[in-house]
């Protein structure tokens, strides 16, 4: 029982962070149709930005700097790199995001080197007793923070004017234009929000494993998550994140032997056989 | 009357086709005017070849024409949608309320008061009815939404019943109502509609046209209506233009046009005697006789 609670907390933390990273990916794919292979690097840059701000001043500065870097990075990438590619074949766009990822990763290495840096612990450490098991408090904070962020995003998409506009653009760009919605601005907003969710995710990973290139590997797990949940589904990203996070931890804890890196993909294939759009992917609506 | 017989009806005694000056009988100041507009797609395909027309404030104006005449292109030129299809206005100008909007971007044009209801309804399929309407009110402030929604649900009670349904699963008629309601959310002074009758059952078409008439009456919205269903369009419109191959070939008050033997022959499917002709003959005949 103790082990189960501990593994569940660990799995949910990983899952919540994965959900944040996946949310950014889904946002970009849904509204702009671009598959962003640099999402892991977005996490990395976010983590370093928060680190620099925190070390230099205070964690509030760190978070603000992280968000600022996220918006600049997101809007900059959209404006400078992807806008000129509008109308180009999808493979070209994919190659560009892969290249962008390598570029960002290398820049970070040049500046900060290869050694992992300890993440300043402004998120309360120590341990808490939960259902008879001892679990690290920072993981509970991680789950809480991620849950709040995801809730805020959900409200944004269903209630706010800009959120609804983003979904409208995802459905039909030309029709959205006739509503006076600026498609360009929505694209920029999608990239900025994706980077913001990546910064929060990156910060939480860094809090667990330190600030290092390992964050990118964590970011790679975004792919099983979004394919499982559905490439264009926000709730899918959250639930897919939780499933993958828990699966990895349970397999690692109960079975072990490296099987945890295989199991998510096995389950992924199984689910895709039954639901080809992923668990919550948008089914093309056809009226009969 | 044989297809090649010379015509001597009142239709041919009017001004020569193609000279589409602003009709002096349209007394009020035009809210929208197109002057010799030329539209080119992909830098090679000339679709509008010097089209001129004007829409008087508060009126319903119909734009008729056969497939490929350039009716949809005309509406897209007005709404600023051409850049999304590699098209551009290469000559001439479009003025709205006296200001040049020829190259204004689509979002600004909506804010200025022109809303388009696109061909094929184009509702946001994965959004609910309510969210579709909210998307339509994007340019308005949040405070106005409640009143606007109320008004639209009064015009379209059916939408009120289905407010939380996913728009993609509505029937065609309901989707058309939603498309019109969504455009209304932006408070347009001029609403352009592209084939609102397309693919709908006759009863629904009548319902939608009566609502279009009421919008014009009660809200004072100026309407520019593109239709293939010429009979309905001429019924509801004050003024009408007929276009062919990217130009206006005929225009006048709707009632006058409905009485014009050429219009009757080509667009209403009647012979001069008023009897219905077989549609097949009409099409066959059209292939040989052109306005220009």
The reply to whether B219 and B281 lie within a common domain is no
C-alpha pair distances (Å), A284 with each of A205, A277, A281, B121, B175: 35, 10, 9, 17, 17
Structure tokens at A267: 């389950």
Q: Which of A144-158, B51-65, B116-130, B275-289 has the lowest mean pLDDT?
A: B275-289
The reply to whether B226 and B272 lie within a common domain is no
Q: Is B80 exposed, middle or buried (0-12, 13-18, 19+ CB in 10 A)?
A: buried
B109 to chain A: which residues are within 8 Å by CB? Answer: 180
Greater pLDDT, A154 or B25: A154
CB contact under 8 A, A285 and B166: yes
- From A247, A253, A287, A252, select the one nearest A270 (Cα to Cα): A247
Q: How far is B216 from chain A (nearest CA, A)?
A: 20
In a domain, B68, yes or no: yes
ipTM comes to: 0.83
Q: Which of A194-198, B168-172, B226-230, B284-288 has the lowest mean pLDDT?
A: B284-288
pLDDT digits (tens, 9 = 90+) for B27-36: 567 999 999 9
Which pLDDT does position A209 carry in this prediction?
84
Q: How far is A193 from chain B (nearest CA, A)?
A: 19
What is chain B's Cα-based Rg?
A: 19
pLDDT greater than 80 at residue B3:
no
Task: Please check whether residue B169 touches A, CB under 8 A.
Answer: yes
The reply to whether B203 and B266 lie within a common domain is no
A287 to chain B: which residues are within 8 Å by CB? Answer: 168-169, 171-172
CB contact under 8 A, A175 and B142: no
B122 to chain A: which residues are within 8 Å by CB? Answer: 172, 174-175, 178
Torsion of Cα atoms, A240 then A242 then A245 then A251, to 10°: -100
Q: What are phi and psi of B231, to 5 degrees?
A: -60, -50
Minimum CA–CA partner of B108 in chain A: A180
- From A163, A158, A212, select the one nearest A40 (Cα to Cα): A212
For residue B21, count other CB atoms closer than 10 A to its CB: 11
Q: Angle, to 10 degrees, between the axis of helix A183-209 and the axis of helix A137-159? A: 170
B278: region left, alpha or beta (phi > 0 left; psi from -120 to 50 alpha): beta
pLDDT greater than 60 at residue B170:
yes
In a domain, B149, yes or no: no
Nearest 5°: the CA angle B75, B79, B81 is 95
CB contact under 8 A, A175 and B169: no
A250: region left, alpha or beta (phi > 0 left; psi from -120 to 50 alpha): alpha
User: Rounded CA gap, B49 and B39, in Å?
Assistant: 7
Minimum CA–CA partner of B112 in chain A: A180
Minimum CA–CA partner of B79 in chain A: A178
Of the partner residues B124, B142, B172, the one whose CB lies closest to the CB of residue A175: B124
pLDDT greater than 50 at residue B11:
no
CB contact under 8 A, B126 and A282: yes
CB contact under 8 A, A167 and B183: no
CATH topology of domain A2-274: ABC transporter involved in vitamin B12 uptake, BtuC (1.10.3470)
Minimum CA–CA partner of A168 in chain B: B124
pLDDT greater than 90 at residue B111:
yes
The reply to whether B91 and B68 lie within a common domain is yes
In a domain, B217, yes or no: yes
**Residue B291 pLDDT grade (very low, low, confident, very high; cuts 50, 70, 90):** low
The reply to whether B250 and B268 lie within a common domain is no
- From B191, B264, B292, select the one nearest B1 (Cα to Cα): B264
Interface size A-B, in CB pairs within 8 Å, comes to 91
In a domain, B148, yes or no: no
B134 to chain A: which residues are within 8 Å by CB? Answer: 161, 164
Of the partner residues B106, B110, B122, the one whose CB lies closest to the CB of residue A172: B122
In a domain, B223, yes or no: yes
pLDDT greater than 70 at residue B106:
yes
Structure tokens at A86: 């509008």
The reply to whether B74 and B60 lie within a common domain is yes
> Domain locations in chain A?
2-274
The reply to whether B271 and B232 lie within a common domain is no
Which pLDDT does position B25 carry in this prediction?
45
Which pLDDT does position A125 carry in this prediction?
72
User: Rounded CA gap, A181 and A175, in Å?
Assistant: 9
- From B136, B114, B140, select the one nearest B127 (Cα to Cα): B136
Q: Rounded to a whole number, what is the distance in angstroms from the first to the last CA of chain B?
A: 21
pLDDT digits (tens, 9 = 90+) for B203-236: 999 999 999 999 999 999 999 999 988 889 999 9
Task: Please check whether residue A3 touches B, CB under 8 A.
Answer: no
Among residues of chain B, what percentage have pLDDT more than 70?
82
pLDDT digits (tens, 9 = 90+) for B40-93: 999 899 999 999 999 999 999 999 988 888 999 999 999 999 998 899 999 999
The reply to whether B245 and B269 lie within a common domain is no
Q: How far is B43 from chain A (nearest CA, A)?
A: 17
In a domain, B29, yes or no: yes
Owning domain of residue B200 = 24-121+188-255
In a domain, B52, yes or no: yes
Of the partner residues A167, A178, A182, the one whose CB lies closest to the CB of residue B127: A167
User: Rounded CA gap, B113 and B22, in Å?
Assistant: 22
B169 to chain A: which residues are within 8 Å by CB? Answer: 285, 287
The reply to whether B103 and B194 lie within a common domain is yes
- From A87, A94, A115, select the one nearest A37 (Cα to Cα): A94
User: Would you give the distance in Å from CA B226 to the centre of its chain?
Assistant: 3
Tokens 């849950």 correspond to what residue?
Answer: A147
Supply the CATH number for residue B88's domain.
3.40.50.300
Structure tokens at A11: 């799995």
Task: Please check whether residue A288 touches B, CB under 8 A.
Answer: no
User: Rounded CA gap, A185 and A31, in Å?
Assistant: 11
Which pLDDT does position B279 carry in this prediction?
54
Structure tokens at B19: 């000279």
For residue A132, count other CB atoms closer than 10 A to its CB: 8
Structure tokens at B47: 């679709």
The reply to whether B276 and B230 lie within a common domain is no
CB contact under 8 A, A179 and B182: yes
User: Starting at the edge strand that comes first in sequence, how are the strands of the sheet with B30-41 ordered?
Assistant: B45-56, B30-41, B87-96, B99-100
Q: Which of A128-132, B95-99, B187-191 has the lowest mean pLDDT?
A: A128-132
A175 to chain B: which residues are within 8 Å by CB? Answer: 118, 122-124
Which pLDDT does position A175 carry in this prediction?
94
Interfacial A residues in 108-167 facing B (CB < 8 Å): 158, 161, 164-165, 167
Cβ neighbors of A152 (< 8 A, separation 6 or more) are none
Cβ contact A20:A243 at 8 Å: no
pLDDT greater than 90 at residue B289:
no
B173 to chain A: which residues are within 8 Å by CB? Answer: none
Task: Please check whether residue B182 touches A, CB under 8 A.
Answer: yes
pLDDT, mean over chain B: 85
Task: Please check whether residue A56 touches B, CB under 8 A.
Answer: no
User: Rounded CA gap, A141 and A204, in Å?
Assistant: 9
In a domain, B49, yes or no: yes
Q: Do the bridges between strand B30-41 and strand B45-56 make them parallel or antiparallel, or are there none, so unpaired?
A: antiparallel
Cβ neighbors of B74 (< 8 A, separation 6 or more) are B34, B37, B39, B48, B51, B53, B63, B226, B243
CB contact under 8 A, A178 and B84: no
Q: What secondary structure, in 3-state letters, does A227-276 show?
A: HHHCCCCHHHHHHHHHHHHHHHHHHHHHHCCCHHHCHHHHHHHHHHHHCC
Nearest 5°: the CA angle B78, B83, B86 is 125
pLDDT digits (tens, 9 = 90+) for B233-248: 999 999 999 998 899 9
A180 to chain B: which residues are within 8 Å by CB? Answer: 106-111, 138-139, 186
Greater pLDDT, B36 or B265: B36
pLDDT digits (tens, 9 = 90+) for B131-157: 999 999 999 988 888 999 999 999 999
Cβ contact B173:B208 at 8 Å: yes
Task: Please check whether residue B125 touches A, CB under 8 A.
Answer: yes
Cβ contact B20:B52 at 8 Å: yes
Residues of chain A with pLDDT under 70: 1, 284-288
User: Rounded CA gap, B157 and B160, in Å?
Assistant: 5
B110 to chain A: which residues are within 8 Å by CB? Answer: 178-180
The reply to whether B202 and B103 lie within a common domain is yes
Which pLDDT does position A174 carry in this prediction?
92
**Bridge partners, residue B191, by sequence:** B115, B223
User: Rounded CA gap, A247 and A7, in Å?
Assistant: 10
Q: Is B151 exposed, middle or buried (0-12, 13-18, 19+ CB in 10 A)?
A: middle
List the single best residue of B86, B107, B129, B188 to mutate versus A (max A Cβ within 10 A): B107
* Total of domains in chain B: 2
Task: Please check whether residue B131 touches A, CB under 8 A.
Answer: yes
The reply to whether B78 and B111 lie within a common domain is yes
């Amino acid at each position: 029982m103790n082990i189960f609670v501990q593994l569940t907390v660990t799995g949910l933390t990983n899952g919540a962070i994965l959900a944040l990273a996946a949310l950014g990916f889904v946002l970009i794919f849904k509204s702009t149709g671009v598959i962003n292979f640099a999402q892991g690097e977005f996490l990395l840059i976010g983590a370093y930005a928060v680190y620099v701000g925190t070390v230099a001043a205070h964690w509030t500065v760190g978070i603000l700097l992280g968000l600022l870097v996220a918006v600049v990075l997101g809007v900059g990438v959209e404006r400078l790199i992807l806008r000129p590619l509008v109308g180009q074949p999808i493979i070209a766009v994919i190659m560009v995001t892969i290249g962008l990822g390598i570029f960002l990763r290398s820049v970070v290495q040049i500046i900060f080197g290869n050694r992992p840096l300890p993440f300043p612990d402004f998120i309360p450490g120590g341990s808490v007793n939960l259902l008879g098991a001892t679990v690290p408090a920072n993981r509970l904070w991680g789950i809480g923070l991620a849950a709040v962020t995801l809730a805020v995003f959900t409200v944004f998409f269903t209630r706010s004017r800009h959120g609804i506009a983003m979904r409208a653009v995802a459905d039909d760009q030309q029709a959205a234009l006739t509503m006076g919605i600026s498609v360009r601005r929505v694209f920029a907003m999608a990239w900025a929000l994706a980077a913001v969710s990546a910064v929060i995710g990156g910060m939480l990973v860094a809090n667990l494993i330190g600030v290092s290139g390992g964050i990118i590997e964590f970011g790679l797990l975004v792919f099983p998550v979004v394919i499982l949940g559905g490439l264009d589904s926000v709730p899918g990203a959250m639930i897919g994140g939780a499933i993958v996070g828990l699966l990895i931890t349970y397999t690692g804890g109960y079975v072990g032997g490296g099987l945890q890196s295989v199991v998510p993909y096995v389950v992924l294939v199984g689910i895709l056989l039954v639901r080809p759009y992923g668990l919550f992917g948008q089914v093309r609506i056809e009226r009969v | 009357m044989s297809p090649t017989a010379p015509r001597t009806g009142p239709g041919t005694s009017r001004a020569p086709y193609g000279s589409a000056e602003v009709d002096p009988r349209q007394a009020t100041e035009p809210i929208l005017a197109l002057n010799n507009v030329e539209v080119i797609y992909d830098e090679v395909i000339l679709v509008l070849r010097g089209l001129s027309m004007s829409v008087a404030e508060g009126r319903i104006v119909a734009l008729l024409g056969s497939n490929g005449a350039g009716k949809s292109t005309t509406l897209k030129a007005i709404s600023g949608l051409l850049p999304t299809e590699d098209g551009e206005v290469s000559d001439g100008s479009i003025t709205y309320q006296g200001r040049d909007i020829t190259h204004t971007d689509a979002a600004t044009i909506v804010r200025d008061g022109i809303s388009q209801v696109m061909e094929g309804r184009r509702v946001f399929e994965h959004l609910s009815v309510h969210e579709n309407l909210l998307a339509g009110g994007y340019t308005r402030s949040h405070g106005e939404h409640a009143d606007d929604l109320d008004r639209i649900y009064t015009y379209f009670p059916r939408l009120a019943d289905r407010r939380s349904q996913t728009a993609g699963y509505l029937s065609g008629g309901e989707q058309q109502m939603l498309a019109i309601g969504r455009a209304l959310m932006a408070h347009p002074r001029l609403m352009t509609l592209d084939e609102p009758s397309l693919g709908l059952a006759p009863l629904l078409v009548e319902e939608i046209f009566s609502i279009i008439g009421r919008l014009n009456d009660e809200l004072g919205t100026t309407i520019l209506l593109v239709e293939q269903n010429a009979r309905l369009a001429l019924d509801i419109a004050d003024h009408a233009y007929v276009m062919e191959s990217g130009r206006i070939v005929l225009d006048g008050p709707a009632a006058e046009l409905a009485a014009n033997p050429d219009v009757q022959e080509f667009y209403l499917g009647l012979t001069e005697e008023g009897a219905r002709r077989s549609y097949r003959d009409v099409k066959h005949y059209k292939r040989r006789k052109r306005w220009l």
